[in-house]
Amino acid sequence: MAREQSQSQRLTGTIGAEEVSAYLRAHPDFLAHNAELVEHLTPPMIEHGQGVVDFQYFLVERLRGEVDRLRGQQRELIATTRANINCQARVHAAALFLLDAQSFEHLIQTVTTDLAVLLDLDIACLIVESNGQVPSRVHNSGVRVVDPGSVDRWLGRKDAILRCNIIGDSEIFGGGAGLVRSEALIRLRVSGATPQGLLAFGSRDGEMFHHGQGTELVSFLARIVERCIRTWLELPA
């Protein structure tokens, strides 16, 4: 009887339950790769007894897990978007403060004092390498002068580095190094006529800066600082 039914199905081009069962046994991951078919299936009623699989419970739990996963991703995406928007707004405000400086000394004060407040950080530092020709007004402005080659030692070949869960370097942050648990270090190239420098941000929050973040915003702020210093000191590009 089963043979006659199978022959009849082949003649009519239809697939019977035996063929479907055999295919699914041979391809146990079929539903995993075709999850959209689950909603079209009619699961068995809940039964009791040893060895009975509650397919309905399996489907419900699977869908519930998927919904929880999607909700978690949604919450994470919303939180990340809000944080990015907030960070972008802070950087834009800081850029305007830099452009509004009324003198070179006012600019340096904005970098070393106001930026930390505007960016919700604990410390911001401006560092320049010495080449024996650093203007005396720079020494008197609170800018930290370091030995030649220091910036390359800190950054290597990179122009910006973000580090988390660290202990601040006193060579960079001076007396405020004890507060620093994460940092952003950005190379400054003010002019071809001056030594390179460093814009350093530090936070007591160990996760404020980390390697998974983008450096576009802090790099943008560093470019603003470069241009402002170049303008006030009347330096060539």
Give tens-digit pLDDT for 86-130.
889 999 999 999 999 999 999 999 999 999 999 999 999 999 998
Q: Give the chain's mean pLDDT.
A: 83
With 70 as the cut, is the pLDDT of residue 233 above it?
Answer: yes
Residue 17 binned pLDDT confidence (cut-offs 50, 70, 90): confident
What is the distance of C-alpha 15 from the center of its chain? 52
Q: Span 63-68, mean pLDDT?
A: 82
The whole-number average pLDDT for the span 20-40 is: 78
pLDDT of 168 over the 80 cut: yes
| Domains identified in the chain and CATH numbers | 101-232 (3.30.450.40)
What percentage of residues in the chain have a pLDDT greater than 90? 51
- Cα separation, 209 vs 201, in Å, equals 9
Nearest to 184 by CA among 98, 92, 121: 121
Q: How confident is the model at residue 132 (pLDDT cuts 50, 70, 90)?
A: low
pLDDT grade for 232, boundaries at 50, 70 and 90: very high
For residues 101 and 114, the answer to whether their CB atoms sit within 8 Å is no
In contact, 111 and 124? CB cutoff 8 Å: yes
Q: pTM for this structure?
A: 0.68
CB–CB of 209/164 below 8 Å? yes
- The whole-angstrom separation of Cα 222 and Cα 188 is 7
| C-alpha count within 13 angstroms, C-beta hemisphere, residue 208 | 21
Q: For residue 7, is pLDDT > 60?
A: no
- For residue 30, the model assigns a pLDDT of 82
Mean per-residue pLDDT for 142-154? 90
pLDDT for 85 equals 87
Sequence-distant (6+) residues with CB within 8 A of 130 are 145, 146, 147, 148, 195
Comparing CA positions, the residue from 128, 145, 153 lying closest to residue 230 is 128
Task: Return d(Cα 67, Cα 69) in angstroms, integer.
Answer: 5
173-219 per-position pLDDT tens digit: 988 999 999 999 999 999 998 899 999 999 999 999 998 888 999 99
What is the chain's alpha carbon radius of gyration, rounded to the nearest angstrom?
32
pLDDT of residue 126: 95
Query: Between the CA atoms of 136, 141, 143 and 149, what dihedral angle is there, to the nearest 10 degrees?
Result: -10
pLDDT score at 1: 44
Of the two residues 98 and 132, the one the predictor is more confident about is 98
